[in-house]
């Protein structure tokens, strides 16, 4: 590839709070009637005074800590001045030079279990704007979203391909959900991406002379499409010996096609100045420490613990810790289990069979009828050869459908393994006697007898140990030919 991608991201995340950022309006506005969650503060009426939401600030600091950031113990809000119809105050309350969090980092997974560190520039708090709804003849304004708390995460331009961006986006979403800062439901606009992208010749290390900004990307799949589209578009311009225009581009639709919105000759002058209606925000070390303690185990920490303590491989650990709910289900199951072999098997059965059944029936983990300890019981029955592997699959389906105990189902359906050697021997005799041709073939092909194992297992309804059947058939045939 002749050109290398240089990407930095800005991500807006709606913090999960009861009320809005600077007023008491209900922050849960999704699907509400337009302009039903408003007051003088979030409508920007003259004289209305903002009162910062402590919970929202705490969420911003918690996310900063989870992203490995330093915290500004002395911080403040600033006015970012610009006019837009959905911003009636003509300024947005944001943070300029003293964001709550700065200089963090997040590790992302690349292929082949490699990792890369993405630097976080800053994490700050601001308020969302209202929403413009355009029709052919007019524009309508809904201020329900105005003043909803937003946490903005800004990264350094550390991404050099689309996979890294997607891996980071998923990781960030996972962290945000783990620590409960936001539900990060993209369909509800709770997490939105802004892309800063340019290309440079492969091997160059300095940043390109231009930067294209694409705002308001509402899903990870669209993000991927935009990057592909912009790569091709910018490459074409560079191939002609020109430099792409430094500008902000909008999304035409969800196909990733962008169009020029406004050209930026230089950085916008927002005339930031300290918000005079809100005093500086001051935190103590002790308060930050307390907030840190509320984070719980982060996904990366959980994953490392699973690998080290339980001996699961990296891929399984990643799947088991993908969501907090999944990890909690697994941890409940293996609580008190010492045998690592059982722990790994429970993990595999859970993310393999059980999750596949959930996907097939489009059900959620919260609806799962299998109790965590029942899956452990099944794995132990399998390990102690009480049932065969094919039977275990049948049992897990029954458990999934009705929540039945594995022991009960196995007993009621006669699935116990045949461990009685004389019973297996009888089946072996029968199979050998009824397949003289296979026995004869063994002269030419010593492996021809393998067919008989299948026949015997069928006869035993899969309830025997195949290795034991193998051994007995071989013994029978070798003794017969002597
Ligand atoms: Zn309000």
In angstroms, the CA 89 to CA 173 distance is 31
- Measured in Å, residue 184 CA sits from the centre of ligand 1 at 22
The mean per-residue pLDDT over the stretch 215-232 comes to 95
- Measured in Å, residue 198 CA sits from the centre of ligand 1 at 39
Any idea which of 3-12, 171-180, 198-207 has the lowest mean pLDDT? 198-207
- Measured in Å, residue 94 CA sits from the centre of ligand 1 at 17
Q: pTM for this one?
A: 0.86
- Measured in Å, residue 87 CA sits from the centre of ligand 1 at 13
- Measured in Å, residue 64 CA sits from the centre of ligand 1 at 26
Residue 110 is given by DSSP the state -
Measured between alpha carbons, how far apart are the two ends of the chain, in Å? 68
- Measured in Å, residue 125 CA sits from the centre of ligand 1 at 17
Task: Decide: residue 309, CB within 10 A, 0-12 exposed, 13-18 middle, 19+ buried.
Answer: exposed
- Measured in Å, residue 20 CA sits from the centre of ligand 1 at 7
- Measured in Å, residue 42 CA sits from the centre of ligand 1 at 4
Any idea which of 146-160, 327-341, 401-415, 445-459 has the lowest mean pLDDT? 445-459
Does 421-481 carry CATH code 1.10.10.410? Answer: yes
What's the sign of the alpha-carbon dihedral 431, 437, 439, 445?
A: negative
Give the DSSP per-residue string, 436-457. HHHHHHTTT-GGGGHHHHHHHH
What residue segments make up the domains of the chain, in order of their start? Answer: 3-291, 297-412, 421-481
- Measured in Å, residue 38 CA sits from the centre of ligand 1 at 4
- Measured in Å, residue 48 CA sits from the centre of ligand 1 at 10
- Measured in Å, residue 88 CA sits from the centre of ligand 1 at 13
* Residue 143 and residue 38 in contact, taking contact as beta carbons nearer than 8 Å: yes
In angstroms, the CA 460 to CA 427 distance is 8
Task: Decide: residue 76, CB within 10 A, 0-12 exposed, 13-18 middle, 19+ buried.
Answer: middle
Q: Is the pLDDT of residue 480 over 60?
A: no
Helix extents (H) in 384-435: 389-402, 406-412, 421-433
The mean per-residue pLDDT over the stretch 34-44 comes to 96
Question: Cα dist. 195→14, 94, 215 in Å?
Answer: 18, 19, 6
pLDDT over 90 for what percent of the chain? 76
In angstroms, the CA 63 to CA 8 distance is 19
Beta strand pairing call for 74-75 and 281-282 = antiparallel
The mean per-residue pLDDT over the stretch 359-372 comes to 95
- Measured in Å, residue 17 CA sits from the centre of ligand 1 at 13
- Measured in Å, residue 143 CA sits from the centre of ligand 1 at 9
List, in order, residues 6 or more apart from 72 with CB less than 8 Å away. Answer: 98, 99, 100, 101, 102
């Amino acid at each position: 590839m002749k050109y290398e991608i240089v990407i930095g991201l800005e991500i807006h995340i709606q913090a999960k709070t009861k009320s809005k950022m600077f007023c008491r309006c209900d922050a849960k506005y999704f699907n509400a009637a337009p302009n039903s969650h408003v007051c003088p503060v979030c409508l920007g009426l003259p004289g209305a005074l903002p009162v910062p939401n402590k919970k929202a600030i705490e969420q911003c600091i918690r996310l900063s800590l989870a992203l490995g950031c330093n915290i500004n113990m002395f911080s403040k809000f600033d006015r970012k001045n610009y006019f837009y119809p959905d911003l009636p105050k003509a300024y947005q309350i944001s943070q300029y030079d003293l964001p709550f969090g700065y200089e963090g980092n997040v590790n992302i997974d690349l292929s082949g279990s490699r990792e890369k560190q993405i630097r976080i520039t800053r994490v700050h708090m601001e308020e969302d704007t209202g929403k413009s709804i355009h029709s052919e003849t007019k524009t309508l304004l809904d201020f329900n979203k105005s003043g909803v708390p937003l946490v903005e995460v800004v990264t350094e331009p550390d991404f050099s391909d689309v996979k890294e961006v997607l891996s980071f986006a998923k990781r960030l979403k996972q962290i945000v959900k783990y620590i409960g800062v936001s539900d990060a439901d993209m369909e509800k606009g709770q997490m939105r991406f802004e892309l800063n992208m340019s290309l440079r010749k492969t091997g160059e290390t300095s940043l390109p002379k231009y930067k294209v900004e694409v705002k308001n990307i509402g899903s990870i799949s669209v993000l991927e499409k935009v990057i592909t589209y912009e790569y091709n578009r910018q490459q074409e311009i560079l191939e002609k010996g020109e430099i792409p225009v430094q500008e902000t581009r909008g999304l035409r639709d969800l196909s990733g096609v962008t169009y020029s919105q406004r050209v930026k000759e230089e950085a916008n002058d927002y005339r930031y100045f300290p918000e005079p209606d809100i005093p500086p925000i001051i935190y103590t070390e002790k308060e930050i420490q307390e907030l840190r303690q509320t984070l719980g185990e982060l996904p990366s920490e959980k994953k490392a613990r699973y690998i080290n303590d339980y001996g699961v491989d990296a891929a399984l650990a990643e799947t088991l810790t993908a969501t907090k709910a999944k990890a909690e289900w697994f941890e409940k199951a293996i609580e008190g289990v010492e045998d690592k072999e059982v722990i790994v098997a429970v993990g595999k059965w859970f993310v393999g069979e059980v999750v596949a059944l959930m996907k097939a029936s489009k059900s959620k983990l919260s609806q799962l009828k299998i109790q965590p300890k029942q899956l452990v019981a099944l794995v132990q029955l399998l390990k102690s050869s009480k049932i065969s592997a094919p039977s275990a699959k049948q049992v897990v389906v029954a458990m999934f459908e009705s929540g039945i105990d594995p022991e009960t189902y196995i007993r009621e359906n006669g699935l116990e393994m045949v461990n009685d050697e004389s019973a297996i021997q009888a089946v072996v005799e029968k199979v050998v006697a009824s397949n003289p041709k296979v026995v004869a073939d063994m002269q030419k092909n010593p492996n021809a007898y393998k067919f008989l194992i299948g026949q015997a297992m069928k006869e035993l309804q899969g309830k025997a140990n195949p290795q034991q059947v193998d051994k007995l058939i071989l013994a029978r045939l070798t003794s017969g030919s002597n």
